[in-house]
A = this chain, B = another copy of it.
Amino acid sequence: MSAVTQSATTLKLALVQMRMGADPAANLQRALELTRQALAGGARLVCLPELFRSRYFCQSEDAGNFALAEPVPGPTTEAFTALAAAHGATIVLSLFERRAAGLYHNTAAIIDGQAGVVGRYRKMHIPDDPRYYEKYYFTPGDLGFQAHDTAAGRLGVLVCWDQWYPEGARLTALAGAEILIYPTAIGWHPEEKAALGARQHAAWETIQRAHAIANGCFVVAINRTGFEPEPGGAGGIEFWGQSFVAAPDGHLLVKAAADEEGVLYAEIDRADIERQRQGWPFLRDRRIDAYGDITRRFRDE
């Protein structure tokens, strides 16, 4: 009998909340080290934060940062593939994907045990706000909203700005995803924190808990932590950590501190999804005959 034996529906998963430094090689080594720690701790699914190989380079528009991009599969997925295979574990990695010369995406790769990369997701909603200049770097995803079968269940991966869009969560859940996983890089502008910080963070947590509620599935958000200075500027971003796992009824199962790096574990039972959906049968009653205008920009005609 193994200590890690689990039932067909229970799962121990781990969120790696990281603080990133200036050296991508060191960040990669740190991510591998924390992933090894998570696997040693019994996690069957390990999720890393958005673009963990580097500082959040989108604080400025600098063509030199395209050098950080890599193919998928590529060096970073290969570094984790061996770990996943050795442990028969599932790993969700966020990467700066170089798809072709001049064509880049904000991508997540799903690595499943010995099968290697079994799926990828290209961030569909791309933000562009002061210090989050992502439209400069990333072409919006063209793979749509998907779910992927893995040893850890059927996973739906989305990325950061996607978390503000109920449509993305819904479409991924309708594809059968049991767990919605959001690698994230979100934080405060220090000069706004006192006035707006608490409400900004509350909104972020609230809307993702609502995705769990609306769809009766688990939601996993993995954020980075720490302060990263704005290149050439006086400001920066204070990433707010507080990675979490929400249950299908929206309550928080676990939540990390704001400023600590480390591995956050959660034990979930995927059978809770069907129990929750039987109790609150929202999927039964969707008015699919009346939702067509969701594909309009605005209903002003």
Once the chains are docked, how many angstroms separate the CA of A115 from the CA of B66? 60
Integer count of this chain's copies in the complex:
2
**Of A15-23, A95-103, A164-172, A236-244, the one touching chain B:** A164-172
Contact A286 B297 (CB under 8 A): yes
Contact B167 A299 (CB under 8 A): no
Q: How large is the interface on A (under 10, 10 to 19, 20 to 34, 35 or more residues)?
A: 35 or more
Query: How would residues 99 to 140 of chain A score, 1 for a CB under 8 Å from any chain B CB and 0 otherwise?
Result: 000000000000000000000000011110100000000001
Tell me whether A85 is interfacial, beta carbon within 8 Å.
no
What's the least CB distance linking A162 to chain B, in Å? 9
Once the chains are docked, how many angstroms separate the CA of A298 from the CA of B174? 5
Tell me whether A249 is interfacial, beta carbon within 8 Å.
yes
Contacts of A126 in B (CB 8 A): 285
From B170, B176, B283, B289, contact of A166 by CB (8 A): B170
What's the least CB distance linking A208 to chain B, in Å? 8
Residue of B whose beta carbon sits closest to that of A127: B285
Contacts of A127 in B (CB 8 A): 285
Contact A167 B210 (CB under 8 A): no
Once the chains are docked, how many angstroms separate the CA of A144 from the CA of B125? 27
Contacts of A166 in B (CB 8 A): 166-167, 169-170, 210, 214
Contacts of A145 in B (CB 8 A): 290, 293
Contacts of A211 in B (CB 8 A): 210
From known contacts A166-B170, A199-B251, A299-B175, infer whether A287 and B124 are also in contact, taking CB-CB under 8 Å: yes
Once the chains are docked, how many angstroms separate the CA of A283 from the CA of B127? 11
From known contacts A202-B251, A207-B213, A299-B176, infer whether A167 and B286 are also in contact, taking CB-CB under 8 Å: yes
Besides the contacts A125-B285, A171-B290, A203-B251, what 9 more A-B pairs have beta carbons closer than 8 Å? A126-B285, A166-B167, A167-B291, A171-B294, A199-B250, A203-B213, A206-B206, A207-B214, A289-B295
Once the chains are docked, how many angstroms separate the CA of A71 from the CA of B170? 36
Contact A167 B294 (CB under 8 A): yes
